[in-house]
Homo-oligomer: A and B are copies of this chain.
């Protein structure tokens, strides 16, 4: 696999020309000293770190994997040293608040950095994937004395964290969980139970680990409303010597997985572990959802990063590999055959990846900016609007981008032909690594359910109409005739989605399962709406510069056109599938259907 190069040019375009993030951050107290130069410097440093320190460990980490020894989980060779460098350089504190020792930089910059790290070595980057979410929960919900102990350690990167939700019998349905927490006289709790699928549940990078654990208090109501959140450290002491302070929590196994093998997925046992309540009793799930939403956006970011890595490898291979003539007369008669990048079908595969990646990057950065605005904008109406868009688009970013990225890594593999199927080229690892993105942090089916039930039907479509309003306002404001190629299909799709949503809402008012039947295809249609809106904006930004000396803009425009002519036609099919509804799935009962 060729070296990874952070896509700084496209990141800059997205940040500055498309989203005007530098201007918008200036409206936010705490971020108003951030300028393009600071953002540039940070991204360049992240790109160097990624290329020099972690990209080269990716394949070896997959081959070696993690193992459970008597001393706990062992991660692949070189991973701890790379993390030490990462922490030493101050990366963990990037977006943490200054009051806890952080640099106070915006989420949008953290997001760009996270994409770069995931592209270079996802298995390694998983080691701290939940830290920002854990930091957010603790900084909002934990008691001051807990904050004083734990937040500085997380901000400095000295300690890492895990989130402990899933149990063997429940993942999606956390209401079924059984881990118990019993109050002790000193104000702490005794935690007992088993958890599975815990990323970084144990590791050899940091001397202590901060576990956030969902458990039930005695007499708690059953279901989702009886779940509380606890902080359970691996070691109870936070002084220099941790030797005698081991808490009753340990990894009992490391799963063998299809991919992400460099990231330890642990089965965990809590045996009379000491923990402290975070937030209100029985309100643990809503606190945890802060972290879940952050993690879901993180999956979208990771998905784009992995797809970018595969895309770079595929472009390099397609330039290099000679096979057949693309047309006659031969474009490269000096060579025994044409580079396969000259073949139209290979360009179709590369452009699909490029469009998905650039569309996904626009969506991710936009949502990160929404987070910054929701937290810090002085105007409450702007905060509210940012929050509503974020709520609507989070399940789309998680599911649409991970589905796309799985397709993209597979296209990168396909461009490599038989060589792509070999371990040596590294592309098949990307396919295996990104596959879990469609599953974890709530399967993509669950994202669809969240989108329709909570984000659209629950508010009578208000959030959706806000999004449609953005797209229509943008389209209405375009005057260049070249923009009609983009605005006309965008407006048609807005109309179609409005109509389908209204019919779906009526059907769901009679039978809520109609939402479940339509959900997955509907989510994809909405994903296309978002991409169509963002690529139309791309076209508007690139059109005036398409004939300039920088070919970047001509390439952006070609990609936007490709998206509209060769990917967007999927949307109509998705809407037709969504409209087929429950009748298509329930003609006869499941016992006879799947006999």
**Does A388 count as interface, using CB distance less than 8 angstroms?**
no
The A568-594 residues at the B interface (CB cut-off 8 A) are 569-574, 576-577, 580, 582-588, 590, 592-594
The interface residues of chain B lying within 8 Å CB-to-CB of A555 are 588, 592-595
Taking the closest CB of chain B, its distance from the CB of A111, in whole angstroms, is 24
The interface residues of chain B lying within 8 Å CB-to-CB of A431 are 258, 435
The interface residues of chain B lying within 8 Å CB-to-CB of A583 are 565
Residue contact B561 to A584, C-beta cutoff 8 Å: yes
Taking the closest CB of chain B, its distance from the CB of A309, in whole angstroms, is 15
The interface residues of chain B lying within 8 Å CB-to-CB of A169 are 322
Taking the closest CB of chain B, its distance from the CB of A582, in whole angstroms, is 6
Copies of this chain, complex-wide, total 2
Residue contact A345 to B520, C-beta cutoff 8 Å: yes
- Rounded to whole angstroms, the CA-CA distance of A584 and B410 in the bound complex is 21
- Rounded to whole angstroms, the CA-CA distance of A414 and B435 in the bound complex is 9
The interface residues of chain B lying within 8 Å CB-to-CB of A345 are 445, 448-449, 516-517, 519-520
Contact for A343 among B347, B350, B516, CB less than 8 A: B516
- Rounded to whole angstroms, the CA-CA distance of A592 and B517 in the bound complex is 43
Residue contact A445 to B584, C-beta cutoff 8 Å: no
Taking the closest CB of chain B, its distance from the CB of A395, in whole angstroms, is 13
- Rounded to whole angstroms, the CA-CA distance of A183 and B573 in the bound complex is 59
Taking the closest CB of chain B, its distance from the CB of A120, in whole angstroms, is 20
The interface residues of chain B lying within 8 Å CB-to-CB of A559 are 593
Q: Which residue on chain B has the smallest CB distance to residue A354?
A: B594
Residue contact A170 to B323, C-beta cutoff 8 Å: yes
**Does A342 count as interface, using CB distance less than 8 angstroms?**
yes
Stretch at the interface among A84-92, A139-147, A239-247, A324-332: A324-332
Residue contact B585 to A348, C-beta cutoff 8 Å: yes
Residue contact A569 to B562, C-beta cutoff 8 Å: no
**Does A27 count as interface, using CB distance less than 8 angstroms?**
no
The interface residues of chain B lying within 8 Å CB-to-CB of A569 are 572-574, 576-577
Residue contact B341 to A176, C-beta cutoff 8 Å: no
- Rounded to whole angstroms, the CA-CA distance of A256 and B347 in the bound complex is 28
Taking the closest CB of chain B, its distance from the CB of A313, in whole angstroms, is 12
**Does A358 count as interface, using CB distance less than 8 angstroms?**
no
Residue contact A580 to B554, C-beta cutoff 8 Å: no
Contact for A341 among B166, B336, B512, B590, CB less than 8 A: B590
**Does A218 count as interface, using CB distance less than 8 angstroms?**
no
Residue contact B421 to A558, C-beta cutoff 8 Å: no
- Rounded to whole angstroms, the CA-CA distance of A169 and B586 in the bound complex is 52
Taking the closest CB of chain B, its distance from the CB of A13, in whole angstroms, is 13
The interface residues of chain B lying within 8 Å CB-to-CB of A354 are 594
The interface residues of chain B lying within 8 Å CB-to-CB of A436 are 418, 421
Residue contact A327 to B511, C-beta cutoff 8 Å: yes
The A485-533 residues at the B interface (CB cut-off 8 A) are 511-513, 516-517, 519-521
Residue contact A588 to B554, C-beta cutoff 8 Å: yes
- Rounded to whole angstroms, the CA-CA distance of A319 and B417 in the bound complex is 38
Taking the closest CB of chain B, its distance from the CB of A179, in whole angstroms, is 16
- Rounded to whole angstroms, the CA-CA distance of A445 and B414 in the bound complex is 9
Residue contact B435 to A413, C-beta cutoff 8 Å: yes
Q: Which residue on chain B has the smallest CB distance to residue A321?
A: B169
Contact for A344 among B197, B344, B347, B516, CB less than 8 A: B516
**Does A474 count as interface, using CB distance less than 8 angstroms?**
no
Q: Which residue on chain B has the smallest CB distance to residue A518?
A: B344
**Does A315 count as interface, using CB distance less than 8 angstroms?**
yes
Q: Which residue on chain B has the smallest CB distance to residue A552?
A: B595
Taking the closest CB of chain B, its distance from the CB of A174, in whole angstroms, is 10
The A299-345 residues at the B interface (CB cut-off 8 A) are 315, 319, 322-324, 326-328, 336-337, 341-345
Selected A-B contacts with CB under 8 Å, 6 pairs: A176-B336, A256-B422, A258-B431, A555-B595, A566-B577, A570-B573
8 shortest interchain CB distances as A-B pairs: A258-B428, A569-B576, A551-B592, A565-B580, A344-B517, A344-B516, A558-B587, A569-B573
